[in-house]
Amino acid sequence: MDCPRCKSMKLRLQELEERVNHLRVSRRVLINLLEKVEREKSQLKERLEKENRRLLRTNVRYAHSLWQKNRRIRELEMKLVENQNNPG
């Protein structure tokens, strides 16, 4: 009793259902990829922020060391000038 048009419509319906299933799978794959990229981005951001904090601490220590050395150089220069002005 199936008319040719009914068969054609059933076949078309099956094709469309398959496409919908494929699209669902594709959507899931894309969502999973997006979540993975977001996790990786977040991890990279955290790693870079941690590295930035480490570099800032290192820079502060280096700047303090330079400041101390410059201070010591000024002290020694002043002593040298004093010794040159007051020999013996």
pLDDT tens for each residue of 28-85: 999 999 999 999 999 999 999 999 999 999 999 999 999 999 999 999 999 999 999 8
Closest CA to 13 of 21, 29, 25: 21
How confident is residue 87, by pLDDT bands cut at 50, 70 and 90?
A: confident
Per-residue confidence (pLDDT) for residue 63, from 0 to 100: 98
Per-residue confidence (pLDDT) for residue 86, from 0 to 100: 85
* Total domain count, the chain: 1
CA–centroid distance for 34 within its chain = 16
Per-residue confidence (pLDDT) for residue 88, from 0 to 100: 64
Domain limits for position 5: 1-87
Interatomic CA distance for residues 18 and 27, integer angstroms:
14
